[in-house]
Structures are given as structure tokens and as C-alpha cells.
Structure 1
Amino acid sequence: MIVRSFQLSDYMPTKQLLELSLSEECCEKTWDAFARQLSLDGELVVVAQLELDSEVRTVGVAIGTVDQNNGYYYRLAVHPEFRNQGIGKALVGKLEQKFQQRKVRNIMVAADEHTEMMLPFFEQLGYGTQHVLRSLKQLRIVAG
């Protein structure tokens, strides 16, 4: 598995992955945030790829952002056929490295109605309730 920062050639595979993995409403919200984050700091968008039958496939994406010196996991999506294989954990780990390189004060999970079901996953990775930002206000996607 390769986990790396997003590249322009990842656009269509990532779009297809988001459409497959997220609800229509969540996908719309995510796509807007994704575009803003790419324009400001594309290093905080990471993709996971697997080589399958001599073809490299994008099987996961994580979108992070930095806001007021805090790093946030904004969205995590893994292809349904490849869940529970460590891809989400690898994506979170890569973003965590990037947040640490930026010396953010805290690393948080941005929770909304679309990510609530992911909180147990983040708990398994050591992120407790003190690491969860629940807000009705939309998280600003800003450059770190």
C-alpha cells in the first residue's frame, strides 16, 4: 500500500471513491471542502493506493486541515471493498505525521452528522472525546 499526498492525477479516482463511499449529501459537502483544501494546502489531502492485477487503484482518501494551530481530520473515506484492512489507520497515521511536522497544538477529529459513526474508529487509534470537535459552525478550511 502506498499512502501519499494527493496529486492532480488522483482527481477522478478520488471523486469516484468519494461518490461510492459517502452519502450524496456528505459527498457534496466533502467535495467543496476538498477543493478548498487543495487550493490552500494540498499536502493535507492524502490518498491510499493498492496495486491490484498490475493496476494501481485509489482505495482511500483523508482530508485534513489546520485551523487556529489545531490539526483536524475532516473526512476519511475508504472503498467499501477494502475496509477493515488497515487503510483508514494508514491514512490517519500519514495525516498525523503531517500535523506533527506543522507543530500543531492539538490534533482533533471534526465531527458532524456524517462522521459520528467514525468516532469509535478514532477511539481505537487513541483519540478520545477530548479530541473531538462537535460544532454546528462549519470548520474553516485554511492554509497551515
Structure 2
Amino acid sequence: MLLRTFQLSDYAPVTELLSEVLTESCYDETMEAFARQLKWDSDLVIVAESDEEIVGIIIGTIDNNQGYYYRIAVGQAYQRKGIGKALIANLKQKFVQRKVSRILVSVDSHNEFLLPLYESLGYRASDFLRSFKKLSIITG
């Protein structure tokens, strides 16, 4: 498995993956935030590739010197194989390299079920930013 920064050629397979994994309302919100993040800082969008196929993605952002995990998605056939954890770890490295003061998990109604994944990586309730705002409102 290869983890790397999003490239423009990834757009179609990433949107296909997101539409496969996310609910319709989550997909719409995520696509808006995804477009904004690509415009602001595409280095914080990481994809997981296996056999030249995009199998996972994580979207992060930095606001006020704080790093945020915004959305993570892994193809159904690839779930529970460590890809999500690897994506989180890779994005964490980018946050650390940029010397953010704190790393938070942006929690909304669409990803609350993923909190045990973050907890298994050492994140605590104090690291969860429960916000029902869109990424475009969280970041500036």
C-alpha cells in the first residue's frame, strides 16, 4: 500500500470512493469541504493506493495553528486492514512537521461512529471537536 498526497488525476477515483462509502448528505458536505481544502492546501489530503487503485482518503486542515482530521473514507473491501490507521498516522506526521499546537478530530453526525478508531490511536474525548459546522466554517 502506498500513501501519498492527492494528485489531480485522483479526482475521479476519489469521488467514486467517497460516493461508495459515504451517505448522500455526508458526500455532499464532504465534496464541498474537499474542494475548498484542495484550493487551500492539497498537501493535507492523503490517499491510500493499492495496486494502482485509490482505496482510502483522509482530508485534514489547519486552522489557527491547530490540525484537524476532517473526513476519512476507506473502500468497503479494504476496511479493517489498517488503512484508516495508516492514513491518520500519515496526516499526523504532516501536522507535526508543520508544528501545529494541537491535533483535533472534527466530529459530526457523519463520523461519530469512527471515534473508537481514533481512541485506539491514543486520542481522547478532549481531542474531539464536536462541531456540526462545515469545514468551510471551521477554517478561515
Structure 2 length-normalised TM: 0.96
Q: Secondary structure at the match of 2:53?
A: strand
2:72 to 69, 76, 80: 76
3-state SS of the aligned residue for 1:11? helix
Partner of 2:4: 4
User: Over the residues paired in the alignment, what is the CA RMSD in angstroms?
Assistant: 1.2
Aligned to 1:50: 50
One of 90, 103, 127 as aligned partner of 1:107:
103
Instruction: Render the CA deviation track for 1:101-121: whole Å, top value 9, x for unaligned.
Output: 110000000000001000011
Q: Supply the AA of the counterpart residue of 2:29.
A: K
Question: Unpaired segments of 5 or more residues in structure 1?
Answer: none
Letter in 2 for 1:132: F
From the two aligned structures, give the one with the greater helix fraction: 2
Give the deviation of 1:138 after TM superposition.
Answer: 3.1
1:137 counterpart = 2:133: yes
1:111 aligned partner, one-letter code: V
- The equivalences for 1:59-70 within 5 A come to 59-70=55-66
| Aligned length, in residue pairs | 139
Structure 1 residue runs of 4 or more that deviate by more than 6 Å after TM superposition:
none
Task: Name the SS for the 2:103 alignment partner.
Answer: strand
Q: What is the percentage of aligned positions where both structures have the same residue?
A: 51
SS in 2 for 1:14: helix
Q: In the TM superposition, what whole-angstrom CA distance separates every residue of 1:82-130 from its partner, at most 9, and x where no partner exists?
A: 0000100110011000001110000000000001000011000111101
Q: Report the CA distance between 1:135 and its aligned residue.
A: 2.0
Spell out, residue by residue over 1:25-55, the C-alpha distance to the aligned partner (whole angstroms, 9 max, x if none): 000000000000000100000000001xxxx
Q: Tell me the residue number matched to 1:32.
A: 32
- Residue 41 of structure 1 is matched in structure 2 by 41
